[in-house]
């Protein structure tokens, strides 16, 4: 069969096709062509097109954060060399896939409660970082047990997710979401990317603000999903990896065609445009980056990485244990913040539960039985340095001993 590769960008949804001399579209895998219809990529071993595709933003531990459509735009490189297909950095634009619909809070002039939560399954605070923007300004997450939005200037352009009643705003209830934005002009999320002072809050997606490389010659671990709400997994037709932090100095919703990355056709090198500080000369600086080689292994990084500690002998009187854990990017390692929320995270299981991977310290939980030894498992985010300590508790859950702080890598 003779023909050409076509890389298609329809509504900022990227697909790769093979077009033969008659104009028919196919998808080629390992040299064998199978049927292709529109933007829908069919399963490896069937011609049933159904509604299967490679997700624009993969699930993580069964949870979904959208990078679909123009929420985070994506643009392919037509000259990518097989088996690689690369995109530029997914710039954030905004759309109705973000939480929005602000209602003013009585007695305050800058604080709003969002009436529409994030797309599909709400804010997944234990799976993704919460992301927010108003116009070209990023929102800072101040969620936590002592959080208060009160119109003070130091709280401007912040967001706050309620875990327990009366957090963020007096009278709040669990699950509510608040923002403090001065001079708000639009109570929804503007999808045009213009610098309107609006409200956009959601989960930060796996593919957000990263360049994506797709390797067509190797099946992935994520699987091909049959629809957006599905978490069913099956072997897919390609592997993807994200290249984060490769385009420096990009402002939210304030990008030009130069504020991105240009990956070479062989997928091994890239040019990155660095925006210099105001007043600097020149305005942009070009960096040549060597992209790390692709190493395939058996680790599934589309979910939490189990980090285990085996507990042998325990202090006298021990009935159960808990492990407080966190990451230094969220605060002091001794604070054990595993998310942006300023509260310690707690693991209490010998395995990782994707639905409830951990608890915050103020939530109700039962310690792991460990009267004569046990193994406790921390749900590590992939490719992170993780800190933890074990607390030994008696039958009444009083802490009788605490271990030194441990450190490990969830990779």
46, pLDDT greater than 80: no
Comparison of pLDDT for 180 and 257, the residue scoring more: 180
CB 304 within 8 A of CB 376: no
Asked whether residue 317 carries a pLDDT value surpassing 70, the answer given is yes
Q: Which residues lie closer than 8 Å to 224 by C-beta, 6 or more apart? A: 41, 43, 52, 53, 54, 234, 235, 236, 237
Confidence of residue 386 (pLDDT cuts 50, 70, 90): very high
pLDDT in tens, 77-93: 655 565 667 777 667 78
pLDDT range class, residue 262, cuts 50, 70, 90:
confident
**Where are the strands (E) in 205-317, listed by range?**
210-215, 239-244, 261-263, 269-275, 284-290, 305-311
Residue 251 buriedness (CB in 10 A; 0-12 / 13-18 / 19+): middle
Beta bridge partners of 179: 112, 159
| Per-state percent for the chain, helix, strand, coil, to nearest 5 | 0, 35, 60
Using alpha carbons only, what angle is made at residue 71 by residues 69 and 75, rounded to the nearest 5 degrees?
60
Fold of the 305-410 domain: Immunoglobulin-like (2.60.40)
Residue 115 clears pLDDT 60, i.e. is over it: yes
Question: What pTM does this model have?
Answer: 0.80
Backbone dihedral region for residue 101 (phi beyond 0: left; psi -120 to 50: alpha; all else: beta): left
Range of lowest pLDDT (61-70, 104-113, 308-317, 380-389): 61-70
pLDDT, tens only, 270-288: 877 666 666 666 666 677 8
pLDDT of residue 59: 81
Give the model's pLDDT for residue 92: 79
Considering only residues 217 and 40, tell me which one the structure prediction assigns the higher pLDDT: 217
Domain boundaries along the sequence of the chain:
305-410
Q: Which residue has the higher pLDDT, 212 or 407?
A: 407
pLDDT for 21: 43
């Amino acid at each position: 069969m003779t023909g050409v590769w076509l890389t298609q960008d329809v509504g900022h949804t990227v697909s790769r096709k093979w077009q033969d001399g008659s104009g028919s579209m196919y998808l080629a895998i390992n040299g064998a062509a199978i049927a292709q219809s529109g933007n829908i990529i069919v399963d490896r071993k069937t011609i049933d097109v159904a509604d299967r595709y490679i997700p624009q933003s993969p699930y993580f531990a069964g949870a979904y954060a959208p990078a679909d459509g123009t929420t985070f735009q994506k643009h392919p490189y037509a000259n990518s060399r097989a088996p690689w297909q690369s995109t530029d950095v997914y710039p954030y634009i905004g759309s109705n896939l973000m939480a929005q619909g602000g209602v003013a809070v009585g007695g305050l002039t800058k604080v709003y409660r969002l009436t529409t939560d994030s797309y599909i399954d709400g804010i997944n605070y234990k799976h993704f970082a919460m992301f927010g923007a108003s116009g070209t300004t990023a929102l800072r997450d101040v969620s936590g047990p002592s959080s208060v939005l009160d119109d003070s200037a130091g709280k401007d352009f912040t967001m706050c997710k309620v875990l327990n009643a009366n957090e963020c705003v007096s009278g709040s209830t669990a699950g509510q979401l608040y923002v403090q934005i001065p001079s708000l002009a639009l109570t929804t999320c503007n999808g045009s990317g213009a610098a309107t002072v609006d409200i956009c809050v959601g989960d930060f997606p796996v593919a957000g603000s990263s360049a994506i490389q797709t390797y067509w010659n190797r099946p992935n671990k994520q699987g091909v999903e049959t629809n957006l709400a599905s978490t069913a997994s099956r072997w897919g037709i390609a592997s993807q990896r994200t290249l984060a932090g490769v385009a420096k100095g990009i402002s939210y919703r304030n990008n030009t065609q130069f504020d991105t990355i240009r990956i070479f056709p062989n997928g091994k090198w890239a040019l990155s445009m660095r925006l210099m500080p105001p007043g600097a000369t020149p305005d942009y600086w070009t960096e040549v980056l060597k992209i790390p080689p692709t190493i395939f292994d058996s680790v599934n990084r589309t979910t939490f990485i189990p980090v285990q500690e085996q507990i042998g002998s325990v202090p006298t009187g021990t009935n159960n244990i808990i492990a407080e854990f966190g990451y230094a990017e969220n605060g002091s390692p001794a604070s054990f913040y595993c998310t942006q929320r300023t509260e310690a995270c707690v693991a209490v299981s010998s395995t990782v539960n994707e639905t409830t991977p951990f608890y915050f310290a103020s939530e109700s939980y039962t310690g792991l039985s460990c009267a004569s030894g046990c193994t406790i498992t921390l749900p590590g985010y992939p490719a992170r340095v993780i800190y933890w300590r074990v607390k030994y508790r008696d039958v009444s859950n009083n802490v009788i001993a605490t271990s030194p702080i441990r450190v490990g890598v969830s990779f």
